[in-house]
Structure 1
Amino acid sequence: MPQPRRNQISLIDTPYYHCVSRCVRRSFLCGTDKFTGQSYEHRRGWVEERLLFLSSVFAIDICAYAVMGNHTHVVLCVDKDMAERWSMKEVIRRWHQLYQGTLLSQKYQRGGTLSKGEMMSLEETVTIYRQRLYDISWLMRNLNEYIAREANKEDKCTGRFYSPPSLALTLRAS
């Protein structure tokens, strides 16, 4: 029986992980549909561009990846120590590349003055953002959701594009 990724990942044991995301409903990630002749090869570029972007935001390196006809393989290396060294300003800057953040994080990023209570609240929020910025699930969510939205828009459909991602293999550091 599949286990949640949080139960499979132990950064104490190894920072390296191999994740696989598979398409559903006979969807094509890339390649050519033999029945219709439709080419989906341009979607490889979507995956590569998104991976490059996400590796610049997250404290997770992309060691290797492969984009297949109906699935992707991504080998990741989590750098929790790097994320722990980021300043509050850096965490907010990175988070805002992905999401709007909160009114307080937006105010802080603009250089606004925060009260002591607002600063305490923002520090709690930044702790959550920091943890998410070295979380494999958050990186894979950002990769897969983006690709799914683009593919669904192109295919003029809605609904799931990927099955839930799986952690295929844990690579042990020697």
Structure 2
Amino acid sequence: MPQARERTVPPNCTGYYHCVSRCVRRAWLCGVDPLTGIDYEHRRELIEERLLMLAEVYSVSIYAYAVMSNHLHVVLKIDASAAAGWSDEEVAVRWCQAFPGSGDPGSQKTRIVNIAAAPELVAEYRDRLRNLSWFMKSLVEPIARQANREDGCTGRFWEGRFKAQALVDERALLAAMVYADLNPIRAKMATDLPSSKHTSAQRRIAQIGAEAPLAEHPLESIAGIKQGGLSLSSQSYLLLADFTGRHWHQGKPGRISDEVRPIMMALKIDPDQWDQQVRGFGEARVSALGALDRLIQFAADTGRRWLVGYQLARKVYRQALAF
């Protein structure tokens, strides 16, 4: 039975999440439909562009994403405290950017002034701009309307509910990012990270190619509210993702390179534990991932006594063996 969204994503609270939104009946979202031969590849670019645009409007930080043929992955942080610091006018401007209405510049200015002068509207829109459900709604609804126009039909395009998994520690966040970035390779849409179109990994690689020093900078969000860097550098993350893909998709551990070994040691995990953790995001009923003590606290904070992710946490967070 589906959980109420508030059990996983408490309103007006900061948190990290892995979200998945799928088309109804697994309908074709992007690429060439093998049944009809129609090319929907342009939709992937539209979704990526809208995702990055909304990241600059909502109080979110995007850490990873992948636009697939019939679903999309987004790994993000909801930053409730950042939205709390916005002025009334900034809230109004951001809301009108997310929902522009007629698009006429004159009417937009009037609308912004009217919203900023109404405290109850400002409070309502501030909460919506830091709400995960509203963010996902803003992302997928315009795509659905356009797809229905292109297909000459009406009705649902996306499933009614998107899947959300809470990420309660940095290692779970990293695993979710790797899982999202590896999706095109797992689906055989790409052979490596640089060729994985419309993913955060490809975007990170392009940024490093344009500005080489970024490789050694702490790993940060790819778009949205600026956050402190993670414990890995951008280059270390890409090496870890590449290693995980080879380890996962070849079906055998293989040799751990001298570049990857210190990364795994810093994370205090061995390859098998890491492999199990990344695979854990494919489990349909897992609503939160991370270390067991963090999961227990998360369950208590959200009014639950138990979570499906406990068993996985016991497996993948046990003390790493020497390797």
> Equivalences for 1:115-134 in 2 at 5 Å?
119=117, 122-134=118-130
What's the offset of the Cα at 1:109? 3.4
TM-score by length of 2: 0.47
Which of 130, 143, 147 is the equivalent residue of 2:143?
147
What corresponds to 1:35 in structure 2?
Answer: 35
What's the offset of the Cα at 1:12? 8.9
Are the aligned partners of 2:96 and 2:112 in contact in 1 as well (CA < 8 Å)? no
Residue range with higher mean Cα deviation, 65-74 or 85-94: 65-74
Q: Secondary structure at the match of 2:75?
A: strand
Q: Secondary structure at the match of 2:66?
A: strand
Give per-residue Cα distances to partners, 1:73-128, cap 9 Å, x unaligned: 11111111110000001001111112368xxx965734x8xxxxx95xx1111011
Higher relative contact order (CA 8 A, sep 6+): 1
Q: Secondary structure at the match of 1:97?
A: helix
> Equivalences for 1:66-81 in 2 at 5 Å?
66-81=66-81
Are the aligned partners of 1:5 and 1:167 in contact in 2 as well (CA < 8 Å)? no
Distance 1:171 1:16 in 2: 5
Q: Secondary structure at the match of 2:24?
A: coil
Q: What 5-or-longer segments of structure 2 have no aligned partner? A: 102-107, 171-323
Residue range with higher mean Cα deviation, 67-76 or 9-18: 9-18
Distance 2:54 2:132 in 1: 11
> Equivalences for 1:7-156 in 2 at 5 Å?
7-10=7-10, 15-99=15-99, 107=110, 109-110=112-113, 119=117, 122-156=118-152
- How many residue pairs match? The answer is 163
After TM superposition, what 4+ stretches of structure 1 lie above 3 angstroms from structure 2? Answer: 10-14, 105-110
Distance 1:33 1:99 in 2: 31
What corresponds to 2:191 in structure 1?
Answer: none
Identity percentage of aligned residues: 50
Are the aligned partners of 2:65 and 2:75 in contact in 1 as well (CA < 8 Å)? yes
Rg larger for: 2
What corresponds to 1:115 in structure 2?
Answer: none
Give per-residue Cα distances to partners, 1:44-73, cap 9 Å, x unaligned: 101101101111110011211111111111
Q: What 5-or-longer segments of structure 1 have no aligned partner? A: 113-117
Distance 1:25 1:34 in 2: 15
CA RMSD, Structure 1 to Structure 2 (Å): 2.4
Are the aligned partners of 2:66 and 2:74 in contact in 1 as well (CA < 8 Å)? yes
Are the aligned partners of 2:61 and 2:77 in contact in 1 as well (CA < 8 Å)? yes
Are the aligned partners of 2:14 and 2:80 in contact in 1 as well (CA < 8 Å)? no
Distance 1:132 1:13 in 2: 12
Higher share in helix:
2
Distance 1:27 1:167 in 2: 17
Residue identity matched to 2:169: A
Distance 2:132 2:97 in 1: 17
What's the offset of the Cα at 1:4? 2.6
Residue identity matched to 2:149: K
